[in-house]
Amino acid sequence: MSSDVKPTDTLDVRGEVCPYPDVKTQKKMKKMKSGEILEILLDYPLSAERIPRSVEKTGHEVLKTEKTGTSEWRILIKIK
């Protein structure tokens, strides 16, 4: 997926640890409409692994997971 994808909404959970990034991601996705793109910014390594897995289990699509810093990630999710 190219970097020109424009997120519909951004969830910044940097500075938060489990389970908050995961829980907040699920809550945010439930409020979004099909086809919208959610951008998640995080710095907790375990959530960077867990969020993409849980997103796919709930039927949504992970468009991109990228490391943006020493311990920061950006995840793009397409809501189904």
Model's pTM, two decimal places? 0.92
Helix or strand or coil: residue 9? Answer: strand
Residues 6+ apart with CB under 8 A from 63: 1, 5, 37, 76, 77, 78
- The pLDDT score that the predictor gives to residue 3 is 59
- If phi > 0 it is left, if psi is from -120 to 50 it is alpha, else beta; for residue 15 that is left
Q: pLDDT band for position 1 (50/70/90)?
A: very low
Per-residue burial over 30-44, b if 16 or more Cβ lie within 10 Å, else e, is eebeeeebbbbebbb
Whether 18 is a known active-site residue: answer: yes
Q: What is the mean pLDDT of the chain?
A: 94
Which of 1, 17, 18, 23 is the catalytic position? 18
For 8-44, the pLDDT digits (tens) are 999 999 999 989 999 999 999 999 999 999 999 999 9
The sheet with strand 61-69 has its strands ordered as: 9-12, 37-42, 72-78, 61-69
Domains of the chain in sequence order = 11-72 (3.30.110.40)
**What token pair was written down for 79?**
């809501």
